[in-house]
Structure 1
Amino acid sequence: MTDNRNEMPPSLWAATAPPPPETVPLEGEVRADLCVIGAGYTGLSAALAAAERGARVVVLEAAEIGWGASGRNNGQVIPTLSRMDPDEIAARGGAKGEAFVALIRDSASLVFDLIRRHGIEAEAVQNGWVQPAHRASRMKLAEKRVEAWARRGAPVELLDRDAIRRITGTDHWFGGWVNRTGGRINPLGFARGLARAVIAAGGTIHTRTAAEGIDRAGGRWVVRTPRGSVAAERVILATNAYSTDLWPGFREEVIPVRSYQMATAPLSDNVRRTILPEGHALSDTRGDLYFFRFDANGRLITGGALMLSFDWEHRIRERIARRCEQVFPQLGRPSFDYVWWGYVGMTADRAPHVHELAPGVTGWNGCNGRGVALATAIGRELGRQATGTPWREIPLPLSPLKPIPAYGVARRLAPAAILVRRWQDRRD
C-alpha cells in the first residue's frame, strides 16, 4: 500500500484497547521455522497456532500490531461469509467444501474461545449476531440461510417481525435471523491480546519492520527487511487488503475498499435500553450495509460507505446521522465522538482465496467484510499447515492466484459499486 500512515484517523478502539505488548524493529539476521508477514488476525492466529506446537516463529509487521483492518473494523464477530451461503461454499470447495463450511460455522466460537483461554481484554460479548431483512422479500433469503446453516448444526433461528422488533428496538426491519455464536469485541484489543499470547508461547514479533523482499537461498526462504532478514523454512503472507508488491500478483487479487466507522458519545441509560436491548451485533441484508452494535461504555458503533473520499468526514457524519435517526427514532440525530476508516479486502467473486504460492509459502486474500472470525480461523489452519499438518487434513480449499485484470483501473472504479448496491437494495 502507498497510503500515508499519518492519514489514517485514530479510532475508538485505539483509545480504549489495552496497550500492546512491547516490541522492537528487527535488527540483524535471524533464523526461524516460520516467518509470518503481518500482525493482524491472520498472522497472529497463525503464529499462535505454530508457536504452541513448538515452532520458532517470527512475525514481521510494517506498522504496529493490529494497525490495519484488524484494528479498524466494527468488531462484529460473524460466522458466515458476506455473500456466499453454505451450499454454494460447499459446492465451490470441492472435496473440502463441507469442511470449509464447518470451519466458517465454528469461526466465531474460535474467536471467543481464544479470548477466554488467553484472558484477552477485548470487551467480548458472545450473545449472537442478527441479520434483519430490510425488505419483506428478503425474508426468503433469511429462510434459506437458516435452513442451510441449521442443516449443518449451527445454532440459528428465524425471527419474525415482532421478534426482530424486540431484539433491535425498532420496527425498521421485516424479520430476519440470528446466529447465537456471533457477537462483538474491541477488535484492536483482540489483536493486541493475540500478540501477547504469541509472545507468551515463545514467538517473536517485530513491529515497524516492513518485509521488502522474499528470496530462496540456502534451502530456506529469506525475508529481507530494512535492517535485517529472517531465514525460515516457511512463510505466511498475512497482509490481505494492506498487501504490497512483495509477491508477484498477490496484491492484485484483492481490492482495498474504504469502510468508515464511527462511535457516538455514551448514550443515556433510558435510550440505551431501547436500542439493541439484548446487546446483539447487527448487520442487515443491504448491499450498502446498515450495521450497529454497542461498546462496553454504551457508545453506538456504526458506519457506512462512500463512493468518493473527498470531504469524507463531514459527508459520512451527515449520512450516518440521518441513517441512525431513520432506523432508531428514539435516538434522534446523533453526533459522533470518533470517526475513522480502514480498508476491507474485496475479491472479484466475494470469496476468500487461499494459496500455496510456492513450496513453503502460503497466504490468502478476501475477507470481504467478515475478517474477524474468518481471518482468525484461516490463520489457525495456515499455522497448523506450516508446522506439519498435511494439506489433506487442512479444511481450506486451495485455488490458483488470480490477479484482477486491469487492476489499477478496477481499483479506481471499485467504490462506484456502491451505486449498484444501493439500486439493488431498493428492489425485490
Structure 2
Amino acid sequence: MPEPVPTMPNSLWAATAPPPPPTTALAGEAHCDVAVVGAGFTGLAAALHLAEAGIACTVLEAAEIGFGASGRNNGQVIPNLSRMDPDAIVAAVPQELGGAEKGEAFVGLVRDSASLVFDLIRKHGIAAEAVQNGWIQPAHRPSRMRLVENRVRQWGSRGAPVRLLSKSEVAGLAGSDSWEGGWENRSGGRINPLGYARGLAAAAARAGATLHTRSPVTRITREPSGWLLETPAGRLGADRVILATNAYTPPGLWPGLARTVVPVRSYQMATGVLSDNIRKSILPEGHALSDTRGDLFFYRFDADGRLVTGGGLVIPFGWEGRIRDRIRARIARVFPQVGEFTFDYVWWGHIGGTQDKLPHVYELAPGVLAWTGCNGRGVGLATALGRELAKACAGVPLREIAVPVETRLKRILGHEFRALGTAWHVLQNRRNDSRD
C-alpha cells in the first residue's frame, strides 16, 4: 500500500496564499531536456528561466508546490548570508574553484538576490503580498555594533544599498527601544512565501514548463541516452538534472547528498490581526526585521496586520505549547504595546544548515547539479541559485555562472545524529548570544 503523501501545515501562508496552478502526478513515460527535482524556490525559479529560454523542463515534486521550507518560512527577503560577510565569502573560495574573482561574483549574486525576487514578482504579477521597504538588522548588544559597522562597510563597498542606523533610528523603525543600533538594506523586504512559490509555479507553467506534484523520485540512474528518474507511477528521461531539495533531501535521492545538510527546525507563528494603533507603532514603515542574535528575534507583518515571528527550541517534545510560551514572552519584552494577544497560527519547517554556514553548489555527475545550505537565508538565495543552475543547464559553462561549483560533497561529520545536531545548533546560538 503506498505511503500517504504529506499535506501542507496549517500555516498562515496556506490560509492566505492564492491556490497553486493545477498539476498531476507523473504517469507513464516522458522526456525533457532538464528534469528538476523539488518545487521550491530554487526548482521553480530554474524551471521558469529554462522555459523562458525555450528549454523543455519538467519539475517533479514529492508533495505539493512550496511544501518544504519555501512555503513555511517567515517570508523575509534578506540579501545577505546569515553568518558570512563578503570578505569571508570571498576568502572561502579556493583558487581551484575560481578564487577571489568567483567569490566576488557570488557576493554580487547574494547582494542582488532580493531585487531579483521582487523583480520576478512584478514581472509575472505574482500575488505574494510583496513589500520591498527594506530589511533591518538591529544589534542586540553594544558589542554587536562592531559587527554591524563591518557589514555596512563590506556590503556598501560592493554597491549594496545599506546604511548604518543609530539606536534612536532603530527604535523609530522598529517601534521598540530593545536594540543598540543596527543597519538597513533597502533592497530587502517581505512576502507571502507560499504565494510566491505558487506564483513562480504558475509563471513557469505559462512559459511552457511541466509540473508534476505527488511524484517523489525514487531512483535516478544513468542511461545511454541520458538520465532516468523514476517515480511510483512514471519514468522521466532527461539530458540534465537539477536536484533542488536542500533540507528536504531524502537519504536515497543521491548518494551522500543528504549528509551535506542538517535539517534544523524553525518555528513560525502569527498573531491575530492587531489594531491599527498598535500596528502603526511597530515596524511603521513596513520593514522586515531580524536581529544579530544567533537564536534571533525576527518580526514582520502580513497584509492583514498580523505580527509574524517565531523562534527555535532545543528539543521538539511538546513543541507547540512551549514555543507559544517562549515567543509570547519575547513579544511582551520587545513590543509591550501589543498587550494581550492570541496566536492564530503556529507551524514549523526545516532550515538547511551546513557545517561552514555557506551554501554549496555541486556537480554530482556530468549533467547533474544540486545545492544545499540556505542557513536561514533561503528566499533570495534560493531564487538566485535557481537562475544560475538554469543558466548552467542552458549551456553556460560552470566556470561562468556566479557561484563556485564543487565536485566533492562536503559531508557533515556525525550526520546520523542530526536530531542532536539540531539541539546543538540552538544551544550554541543561545550560548554565543549570552557571551556577546
TM-score higher than 0.5 here? Answer: yes
- Could you tell me how far apart the structure 2 residues matched to 1:97 and 1:233 are? 29
Residues 367, 5 of structure 1: alpha-carbon distance in 2 compared, 3 angstrom cutoff: farther
- Could you tell me how far apart the structure 1 residues matched to 2:112 and 2:29 are? 39
Residue 268 of structure 1 aligns with which residue? 275
Asked whether 1:404 is paired with 2:412, we answer: yes
Asked whether 1:225 is paired with 2:238, we answer: no
Task: Encode CA deviations 1:291-325: one digit per residue, 9 max, x unaligned.
Answer: 00000000000000001111110000000000000
Q: CA deviation at 1:335?
A: 1.7
- Could you tell me how far apart the structure 1 residues matched to 2:116 and 2:269 are? 27
Asked whether the equivalents of residues 36 and 244 of structure 2 are also in contact (C-alpha less than 8 Å), the reply is: yes
Residue 62 of structure 1 aligns with which residue? 62
Selected match of 2:158 from 148, 152, 159:
152
What is the letter of the counterpart of residue 225 of structure 2?
G
Q: CA deviation at 1:376?
A: 0.2
Secondary structure of 2:405's aligned partner: coil
Asked whether 1:106 is paired with 2:116, we answer: no
Q: CA deviation at 1:7?
A: 8.2
What is the letter of the counterpart of residue 321 of structure 1?
R
Residue 34 of structure 1 aligns with which residue? 34
Asked whether 1:425 is paired with 2:436, we answer: no
Selected match of 2:205 from 174, 199, 208:
199
Residues 318, 185 of structure 1: alpha-carbon distance in 2 compared, 3 angstrom cutoff: same
Asked whether 1:306 is paired with 2:328, we answer: no
Q: CA deviation at 1:423?
A: 1.8
Residue 180 of structure 1 aligns with which residue? 186
Q: CA deviation at 1:218?
A: 2.2
What is the letter of the counterpart of residue 269 of structure 1?
D
- Could you tell me how far apart the structure 2 residues matched to 1:54 and 1:327 are? 50
Asked whether the equivalents of residues 8 and 341 of structure 1 are also in contact (C-alpha less than 8 Å), the reply is: no
Selected match of 2:322 from 308, 315, 321:
315
- Could you tell me how far apart the structure 1 residues matched to 2:255 and 2:53 are? 31
TM-score by length of 1: 0.98
- Could you tell me how far apart the structure 1 residues matched to 2:292 and 2:303 are? 26
Structure 1 segments (4+ residues) deviating >2 Å: 3-9, 410-414
What is the letter of the counterpart of residue 425 of structure 1?
D
Correspondences of 1:206-285 after superposition (within 5 Å): 206-244=212-250, 245-285=252-292
- Could you tell me how far apart the structure 1 residues matched to 2:4 and 2:92 are? 38
Residue 168 of structure 1 aligns with which residue? 174
Residue 300 of structure 2 aligns with which residue? 293
Task: Encode CA deviations 1:68-102: one digit per residue, 9 max, x unaligned.
Answer: 10000000000000000000111212130000000
What is the letter of the counterpart of residue 207 of structure 1?
T
What is the letter of the counterpart of residue 190 of structure 1?
Y
Q: CA deviation at 1:373?
A: 0.3
Q: Which runs of 5+ in 1 are unaligned?
A: none
- Could you tell me how far apart the structure 2 residues matched to 1:376 and 1:417 are? 25
Asked whether the equivalents of residues 265 and 422 of structure 2 are also in contact (C-alpha less than 8 Å), the reply is: no
Asked whether 1:124 is paired with 2:130, we answer: yes
Superposition CA RMSD, Å: 1.3
- Could you tell me how far apart the structure 2 residues matched to 1:200 and 1:184 are? 25
Residue 10 of structure 1 aligns with which residue? 10
Asked whether 1:89 is paired with 2:97, we answer: no
**Count of matched residue positions in the alignment of Structure 1 and Structure 2:** 426
Task: Encode CA deviations 1:360-407: one digit per residue, 9 max, x unaligned.
Answer: 000000000000000000010001110111112201112221211221
Residue 96 of structure 2 aligns with which residue? none
- Could you tell me how far apart the structure 2 residues matched to 1:106 and 1:203 are? 25
Residues 7, 217 of structure 1: alpha-carbon distance in 2 compared, 3 angstrom cutoff: closer
Task: Encode CA deviations 1:249-268: one digit per residue, 9 max, x unaligned.
Answer: 00011000110000001100
Task: Encode CA deviations 1:50-82: one digit per residue, 9 max, x unaligned.
Answer: 111110100000000001100000000000000
Q: CA deviation at 1:6?
A: 5.2
Q: CA deviation at 1:415?
A: 1.6
Q: CA deviation at 1:10?
A: 1.2
Secondary structure of 2:404's aligned partner: coil
Residue 345 of structure 2 aligns with which residue? 338
- Could you tell me how far apart the structure 1 residues matched to 2:223 and 2:419 are? 34
Selected match of 1:324 from 313, 317, 331:
331
How much identity, in percent, do the aligned residues show? 62
Selected match of 2:422 from 410, 414, 417:
414
- Could you tell me how far apart the structure 2 residues matched to 1:411 and 1:248 are? 20
- Could you tell me how far apart the structure 2 residues matched to 1:111 and 1:23 are? 24
Asked whether the equivalents of residues 25 and 212 of structure 2 are also in contact (C-alpha less than 8 Å), the reply is: yes
Correspondences of 1:348-359 after superposition (within 5 Å): 348-359=355-366
- Could you tell me how far apart the structure 2 residues matched to 1:5 and 1:308 are? 26
Q: CA deviation at 1:4?
A: 8.1
- Could you tell me how far apart the structure 2 residues matched to 1:267 and 1:323 are? 17
Asked whether the equivalents of residues 275 and 328 of structure 1 are also in contact (C-alpha less than 8 Å), the reply is: yes
- Could you tell me how far apart the structure 1 residues matched to 2:347 and 2:4 are? 15
Residues 127, 397 of structure 1: alpha-carbon distance in 2 compared, 3 angstrom cutoff: same
Residue 72 of structure 2 aligns with which residue? 72
Asked whether the equivalents of residues 322 and 333 of structure 1 are also in contact (C-alpha less than 8 Å), the reply is: no
Asked whether the equivalents of residues 63 and 208 of structure 1 are also in contact (C-alpha less than 8 Å), the reply is: yes
- Could you tell me how far apart the structure 1 residues matched to 2:71 and 2:7 are? 15
Selected match of 1:141 from 143, 147, 167:
147
Which stretch of the first structure deviates more once superposed, 106-115 or 9-18? 9-18
Secondary structure of 1:154's aligned partner: coil
What is the letter of the counterpart of residue 290 of structure 1?
F
- Could you tell me how far apart the structure 2 residues matched to 1:130 and 1:333 are? 26
- Could you tell me how far apart the structure 1 residues matched to 2:4 and 2:156 are? 45
Q: CA deviation at 1:8?
A: 6.2
